[in-house]
């Protein structure tokens, strides 16, 4: 398809490449969202690129992610979680 669009012109090739990339990214996000384990008590372990950019502004981020970190048990300290993120 890429070569076919390239024969039509650079604009069509770029349009196809961007549309195909968006389609693949959306498909990957959908798959990751289904794989992400739910948090007990609600919440999500799945994060979109927008979530990651809001949490880590000014940093390069991936398109999506799942947080598989061990969660605190009742009565536990959150200090360990902070150390996991910022050693």
| Residue 50: inside a domain | yes
| Residue 9: inside a domain | yes
Phi-psi region of 56 (alpha: psi -120 to 50; beta: other; left: phi over 0): beta
Domain span at residue 20 reads 2-69
pTM of this structure:
0.60
| Residue 33: inside a domain | yes
| Residue 15: inside a domain | yes
Q: What is the pLDDT of residue 4?
A: 67
Q: Is 46 helix (H, G, I), strand (E, B) or coil?
A: strand
| Residue 82: inside a domain | no
Q: At which residue do the structure tokens 């039509």 appear?
A: 8
The residue that leads in pLDDT, 26 or 71, is 26
First CA to last CA distance, the chain: 47
The residue that leads in pLDDT, 1 or 43, is 43
Domain count, the chain: 1
The residue that leads in pLDDT, 78 or 33, is 33
């Amino acid at each position: 398809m890429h070569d076919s669009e390239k024969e039509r012109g650079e604009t069509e090739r770029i349009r196809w490449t961007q549309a195909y990339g968006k389609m693949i990214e959306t498909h990957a996000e959908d798959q990751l969202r289904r794989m992400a384990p739910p948090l007990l008590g609600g919440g999500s372990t799945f994060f979109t690129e927008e979530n990651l950019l809001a949490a880590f502004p000014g940093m390069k981020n991936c398109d999506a992610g799942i947080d598989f970190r061990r969660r605190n048990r009742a009565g536990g300290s959150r200090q360990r979680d902070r150390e996991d993120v910022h050693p």
